[in-house]
Amino acid sequence: MAFNSAQKARVLLGPLSLSASLRTVGFQVTTDTADVTTLADAARVFIVTQDTSTCSFDGPLDTLATANLPFDILSDNWKSGELAVTYAPDGLTFGSMVILGSSIETQFQVMNAMTDSVNWSATGQTNGATDVGVSLEDGLTAVTIDGNGTARDGGAATANGGIAQIHVTAFSGLTNNAVTIEHSVDGSTSWATLATFATYTGLTHERVVVAAGTTVRRYLRVVDNVTGSGSTNRQVSFARR
C-alpha cells in the first residue's frame, strides 16, 4: 500500500492551476442502472445504462484584481461554457494518475462566518465521459523553445483511442505555441502525431478526442513548436480507452 498526504493533490480547471486556492476537492463518478426485473425473477435484476460524474471545490476567496484568478473564472467565465478539469490525487509528475473530464458549472457560492475567512465553493457536472489517464508533462517547467518531450512508457499499446487534455496556465511574450502528442512503438523511432491541440496564443485549455478504434502505441511524448521569444507553462495528460 502507498498512502499520500492530500497536499500532493493538484487540480487544474480551464486555464487555472487551482490548487493554491483550494482546501478540499471531490470527484464522484456514478453509474446509472435500469431495473429489468420480471415476475420470473427471484431477485431484482439491473442493467448498466450511463455513467456520469460531478466535481466539487472550496477554499479561501482570492479577490486580488488580476485577470484569470479563480474568482473571475468561477463566477463568470465558467458559466459561459465548459472547462476541462484535471484532478491529480498524487500530483502531476509523469505517470501519476489523473482524472479527466469536461465540466459545466452548476453552482458557485461565496460565504463567510464571523470567525472565518471569506470562502468560495463551486460544483460542476461533467459532460460526456470521465476518463482515468496519466500526466505526460507536469507543466512546472517553462517552455521557451521548440522541443520533444521525454518518451513516456505506457506499458503496452492500446486499440481504442483516448482523450488528450491540455491546460495552459502561463503565457508571456511568445507569438504562439503549437503542441502535439506523438506516439511510438519503441520510444525512439517512427514517432507519429497522435493528437493535435489548437495553436494557442494565451491562457487556454482543450480536450482532443482520439477516435475509437485508433491504435495508441506504447510510448507517448509531448512536442512543442514555439514561435517568438518568451515562455509558457502547459500541463498535458492522456487517457487511453
123 and 11 in a single domain? The answer is yes
* CATH code where residue 79 lies: 2.40.30
**66 CB contacts (<8 Å, ≥6 apart)?**
none
97 and 111 in a single domain? The answer is yes
Distance CA 18, CA 127 (A): 20
Distance CA 17, CA 198 (A): 20
Give the per-residue pLDDT at 168. 96
Distance CA 194, CA 158 (A): 13
* Phi, psi of 233, rounded to the nearest 5 degrees: -120, 130
* Phi, psi of 6, rounded to the nearest 5 degrees: -60, -20
pTM for the model stands at 0.91
Domain range for residue 225? 136-240
Q: Select from 82, 113, 131 the last residue of a domain.
A: 131
Distance CA 151, CA 171 (A): 25
Secondary structure (DSSP) of 24-60? EEEEEEEEEEEE---TT-SS--EEEEEEEEEEEEEEE
Total domain count for the chain? 2
Q: Return the DSSP state at 197.
A: P
* Residue 11 CB coordination number (10 Å): 22
Q: Return the DSSP state at 142.
A: P
Identify the residue whose cell numbers are 461533467.
Answer: 126
Give the per-residue pLDDT at 8. 86
Residue 167 within a domain: yes
Give pLDDT tens digits along the chain (241 positions).
667 777 889 999 999 888 888 899 998 999 999 999 999 999 999 999 999 999 999 998 877 756 556 777 777 767 778 999 999 999 999 889 999 999 999 998 888 877 888 888 999 999 999 999 999 999 999 999 999 999 999 999 999 999 999 999 999 999 999 999 999 999 999 999 999 999 999 999 999 999 999 999 999 999 999 999 999 999 999 999 9
Identify the residue whose cell numbers are 442502472.
Answer: 33
* CATH code where residue 213 lies: 2.60.120.1110
203 and 171 in a single domain? The answer is yes
Q: Select from 131, 150, 174 the last residue of a domain.
A: 131
